[in-house]
Structure 1
Amino acid sequence: MFKKILVPTDGSPLAHQAAEFAADLAKVHGAQIIGVYVIDPFPYIGIGDASAIGLQAYLSEAQVAATQSLDDIRQVCVARGVTFDGDTIERNVTYEGILETASAEGCDLIVMGSHGRKGIEALVLGSVAQKVLTHAKVPVLIVKS
């Protein structure tokens, strides 16, 4: 039924749980896992040396986090004998990066974690999962903590 499953990650334990669920599902369906880590671009204003140094430090740290997060999903997939491919992209809006990746890769399912924030916390922090659910053109499976 499913051939390509997108698993967005932020490196959290909840993203790991979602990856395990997705890999188990992929094994049953003979599907491939596509992992994605979305880096929020640094608000570089281009003035002074400190900004350039800050940009490089930020991007370096973000790339390390992305590599670790995608390696975690890769290990989950390897343990289950599931094919994995991962990518790091840079977008101002995380959910748009997730949806663009799903479309570009031809994914037919998105599996992601959700912290289940409610009330003021959800209003202030927003919910990437909620936005993906609202705008996705493919089914979305949410793994809750």
Structure 2
Amino acid sequence: MFKKILVPTDGSGLAAKAVETAVQLAKTQSAHVVGVYVIDPFPYIGIGDASAVGLQAYLTEAKSAATRALDGLSKVCAASGVPFSGDTIERNVVYEGILETAEAEGCDLIVMGSHGRQGVKALILGSVAQKVLTHAKVPVLVVKER
């Protein structure tokens, strides 16, 4: 049924639950797992050398977090015998990066964690999962916190 499953990850505990679910599903379907970590661009535009130093420190930490998250996903896939490929991308809007990756990789399912925002934050900010659900052209499985 599913041949290529996209798993966006941010390295959080909830993302780890989505990883477990995606890998179990991929194993039953003989599917390939594609991991993606979307880096938000540097949030501060300053003047002078301080902004260049801040940008470099931010990108170094973001790439390190991406490597840790994708390595974790890779290990879970390897332990289950599920084929894996992963990439880190930088996009202004995280959900758009997820959707672009799904399309570019030919994924037929997206499995991701729900961030569980509630109240005013959810109304103002929305969630990445909600945006992916709204705009995805393929099925989306949202793994909720238990």
Shared fold (TM-score, shorter chain, > 0.5): yes
Task: Classify the secondary structure of the residue corresponding to 2:42.
Answer: coil
How far 1:126 moved relative to its partner? 1.9
Where does residue 59 of structure 1 map in the other structure? Answer: 59
Q: Shift of residue 121 of structure 1?
A: 2.5
**1:97 counterpart = 2:97:** yes
The corresponding residue for 1:16 is: 16
Between the aligned partners of 1:27 and 1:91, the Cα distance in structure 2 is: 30
Cα-Cα RMSD: 1.1
Are 2:109 and 1:106 equivalent residues in the alignment? no
Contact 1:133–1:140 under 8 Å retained in 2: yes
State the identity %.
Answer: 76
| Greater displacement, 83-92 / 42-51 | 42-51
Structure 1 stretches lacking a partner, 5+ long: none
Report the number of matched residues.
145
Kept in 2: contact 1:44–1:52 (CA 8 A):
no
* Residue type of the alignment partner of 2:84: F
Tell me if the contact between 1:23 and 1:82 (Cα under 8 Å) persists in the aligned partners: yes
- Deviation of 1:131 after TM superposition, in Å, equals 0.3
- Report the counterpart of residue 77 of structure 2 in structure 1: 77
**Cα distance in 1, alignment partners of residues 133 and 94 from structure 2:** 13
- Distance in 2 separating the partners of 1:45 and 1:117: 28
SS in structure 2 of the partner of residue 87 of structure 1: strand
Q: How far is the alpha carbon of 1:115 from its aligned partner?
A: 2.6
Residues 38 and 98, structure 1, Cα contact 8 Å, conserved in 2:
yes
Once residues 19 and 88 of structure 2 are traced to their aligned partners in structure 1, the CA distance between those partners, rounded to angstroms, is 16
Q: TM-score, normalised by structure 1?
A: 0.96
Normalising by structure 2, we get a TM-score of 0.96
> Deviations along 1:17-67, whole A, 9 cap, x unmatched?
101100000000000000000000114536311010000000000000000
Query: Which amino acid is 2:24 matched to?
Result: D
Taking the aligned partners of 2:15 and 2:97, their CA distance within structure 1 comes to 16
